[in-house]
Amino acid sequence: MLILGIETSCDETAAAVIRDDGLVLSDVVHTQIGLHAPYGGIVPELASRDHMKNVRPVIEQALRQANLSLNDIGGIAVTCRPGLSGALLVGIQIAKGLAFSRRLPVVGVDHLMGHLMAAYLRYATTEDRQPCWPYVALIASGGHTALYRVDGPDPKDVRELGATRDDAAGEAFDKVAKLLGLGYPGGPIIDRLAAEGDPTQVALSRPMPGKHSFEFSFSGLKTNVMRYVTEHGLPSEAASLRHLCAAFQTRVVETLVRKSTLAARSERVKTVVVGGGVAANSQLRATLQSACQRYGLELFTPAPRACTDNAAMIAYAGAYRLVSGQSDAASLVMSPHTVLDSVTRKGPGRRSRPA
Ligand code: KG4
Ligand code: ZN
């Protein structure tokens, strides 16, 4: 089956066509970064309007890129949660409209399930390995950071082992970049600068160093960087800026890697899967690869473009329901919340579990 994926949950309008085995035939992403930049954050109303303007052309481009027409499509998958309400509605309405007019099945997909499934996508240039259940998955994006045990393709098969109590990992990258006057999104900029820095030149605290907790907290590390800047001023030389970026990134990466491999060992699984924008980080990819090798774990990392928001991952996350003949049709509704299991209590304070 060929599946059209549509994603409009935040600040990217995306459409993609994939085959149900994960082969990506086209993958179009229109980003709104420039639109929101003057406001220093995403303006929901502007996001919805821009999605409305671009969603049709982006879908048409995805079909054109795949050399296909809507007649070739067997089903539609669209992000229906979590995200900005107005933005999600744009994707859902066009998906419903297309499905109704073409008599196609349509399924709603949880955006986080998309990130989780991105490791199954096959691009012409990537290898053919795909992860097998059960595995431990790290999802680290701009709005979400959590470790899950995954036993199957349904959201009911996904159990949270621990999530962030405050900032998501990507949010920490974005806030630190903003603090250093580097622009948005901060992740790719810090990634580039850190590659040429020496992390040992700046001493920053380790976030949540507790041995047995799979919960995260990145807001203390961000405050640590802020305090460093207050004491020393903004780095005036290129080299000191790179050292600071390297020190910050190393702390984030160490934490993500240590907890992911610990979770896999404690769940007695042999496979680790990563996803979300932060999974595009070069240091995270390299460090996780060597840590997994050390512990005899097999690592699945999506291609960098499949880590950040895209519609191919949404299409794949909807594929197994579409292939088994399911359709949400009229029952397809929007929600700002994820369906995934969530156990971590947000905010500061002591927890009963050791941290
Ligand atoms: O998954 P995503 O595209 O959107 C959400 O669902 O949130 O993730 C975006 C986040 C941003 O915070 C961005 O700074 C971060 O992913 N990001 C990175 C890198 N590329 C994107 N963080 C670290 N290193 C990168 N190379
Ligand atoms: Zn995302």
Place of tokens 């502007």: 46
By most ligand atoms within 8 Å of CB, the mutation choice from 278, 301, 310 for ligand 1 is 278
Residue 157: beta bridge partners?
none
169-187 pLDDT tens trace: 999 999 999 999 998 899 9
Find the 13 Cα to ligand 2 centroid distance in Å: 12
pTM of the model: 0.95
Residues 6+ apart with CB under 8 A from 219: 166, 167, 172
The pLDDT, as a whole number, for residue 308 is 97
214-225 pLDDT tens trace: 999 999 999 999
Find the 258 Cα to ligand 2 centroid distance in Å: 23
Average pLDDT, the chain: 95
By most ligand atoms within 8 Å of CB, the mutation choice from 12, 31, 36, 141 for ligand 1 is 141
d(CA 58, CA 193): 32
The pLDDT, as a whole number, for residue 211 is 67
Atom number of ligand 1 nearest to Cα 9: 6
d(CA 40, CA 177): 12
- Pocket-forming residues, ligand 1, beta carbon under 6 Å: 141-143, 170-171, 173-174, 185-188, 191, 276-278, 280-281, 308-309
pLDDT at 355 over 60: no
Angle, CA of 113, 222 and 219, to the nearest 5°: 55
Lowest mean pLDDT segment, chosen from 129-133, 204-208, 308-312 = 204-208
